[in-house]
A and B are shown apart, each in its own frame.
Chain A
Amino acid sequence: MTAPVLDVRGLRKFFEIWRGFPRRVVGTVRAVDDVSFTILEGETLGLVGESGCGKTTTARCILRAMAPSGGEILFRTAAGGVVDLAPLSRKALRPLRPQIQMIFQDPFGSLNPRMTIFDNVAEPLLVNGMRARRARLERVAALLELTGLRPESMHRFPHAFSGGQRQRIGIARALATEPRLVVADEPVSALDVSVRAQVLNLLLELRRRLGLTMLFVAHDLSVVKHICDRVAVMYVGQLVEQAPAAALFARPRHPYTAALIRAVPIPDPRAPSGDVALAGEVANPAHPPSGCYFHPRCPFVVERCRAEAPALRQVDGHAVRCHRAEELSLAGAGQGIAS
Chain B
Amino acid sequence: MEPVLSVRDLRVHFVLDEGLVRAVDGVSFDVAPGQVVGIVGESGCGKSVTMKAILQIVEPPGRVVGGRMLFRGDGAEAVDLARLDPRGAAMRAIRGAEIALIPQEPMAAFSPVHTVGDQVVEALRLHQRKWRPTGPALSSADARQMTVELFRDVGISMPGERVDAYAWQLSGGLRQRAMIAMALSCRPRLLIADEPTTAIDVTTQAQVLNLLRELQRRRGTAIVFITHDLGVIAQMAHHVVVMYLGRVMEQGPVDDIFHSPKHPYTRALLRSIPSLLAPAQSPLPTIAGSIPHPLGRPPGCAFHPRCPELIAGVCDRQAPALKVVEGEQSAACFLYHRDEAEP
Direct contact of A and B (CB under 8 A): yes
Enumerate chain A interface residues (CB-CB to B < 8 A).
50-51, 162, 164-165, 192-198, 200-201, 204-205, 219, 221-223, 225-227, 245-246, 249, 259-271, 273-275, 277-279, 281-282, 333-334
Would you give 27 A-B contacts (Cβ < 8 Å), ordered by A?
A50-B203, A192-B43, A193-B272, A194-B287, A194-B291, A196-B274, A221-B202, A222-B275, A225-B274, A226-B281, A227-B281, A246-B280, A260-B203, A263-B202, A263-B205, A264-B276, A265-B206, A265-B231, A266-B234, A267-B233, A268-B277, A269-B254, A277-B203, A277-B206, A278-B206, A278-B207, A333-B277
Please, which residue of chain B has its CB at the minimum distance from the CB of A274?
B206
Contact B232 A222 (CB under 8 A): no
B296 to chain A, nearest CB (A): 12
Pair B234/A268 contact, Cβ less than 8 Å: yes
The answer to whether B203 touches A204, judged by C-beta atoms less than 8 angstroms apart, is no
By the criterion CB–CB under 8 Å, are B290 and A165 in contact? yes
Q: Which of B232, B259, B272, B274 contacts A265 (CB 8 A)?
A: B232
Task: Give the size of the chain B interface in residues (CB under 8 angstroms).
Answer: 46
Stretch at the interface among B9-17, B61-69, B70-78, B166-174: B166-174
Contact check, B286 vs A263: say whether CB atoms are below 8 A apart. Answer: no
Q: Which of B143-176 contact A (CB under 8 A)?
A: 171-174
Known: A278-B203, A281-B204. A197 touches B286 (CB 8 A): yes
What is the total of A-B residue contacts with beta carbons within 8 Å?
150
- Across-interface contacts of A198 in B (CB, < 8 A): 286
Shortest beta-carbon distance, B270 to chain A, in Å? Answer: 7
Interface status of B57 (Cβ within 8 A of chain A): no
Report chain A residues within 8 Å CB of B309: none
Are B290 and A263 in touch, CB under 8 angstroms?
A: no
B318 CB, nearest partner CB in chain A, Å: 24
Cβ-defined partner of B201 (8 Å) among A219, A261, A269, A333:
A219
- CB contact between A221 and one of B206, B273, B276 (< 8 Å): that residue: B276
**A226 adjacent to B210 (CB under 8 Å):** no
Please indicate the chain A residues that have their CB under 8 angstroms from the CB of B255 in the complex. 269-270
Which of B174, B206, B234, B287 contacts A263 (CB under 8 A)?
B206
| Structural contact, B228 and A267, CB atoms closer than 8 A | no
Q: Are A193 and B269 in contact (CB under 8 A)?
A: yes
> Which of chain B's residues have a CB closer than 8 A to the CB of A201?
283-284, 286
**How many Å lie between the Cα of A193 and that of B43 in the bound state?**
9
Q: Which residues from chain A contact B2 at a C-beta distance below 8 Å?
A: none
- In the bound assembly, the distance between CA atoms of A51 and B205 in angstroms comes to 12
Known contacts: A198-B286, A267-B230. The answer to whether A281 contacts B202 by CB under 8 A is no
Given the known interface contacts A260-B202, A277-B203, A281-B171, the answer about A267 and B286 at a Cβ–Cβ threshold of 8 Å is no
Q: B170 — nearest CB in chain A belongs to which residue? A: A281
- Verify B258–A269 contact, CB threshold 8 A: yes
Task: Give the docked Cα–Cα distance between A47 and B268 (Å).
Answer: 29
Chain B hits for A265, CB < 8 A = 205-206, 209, 229, 231-232, 234-235
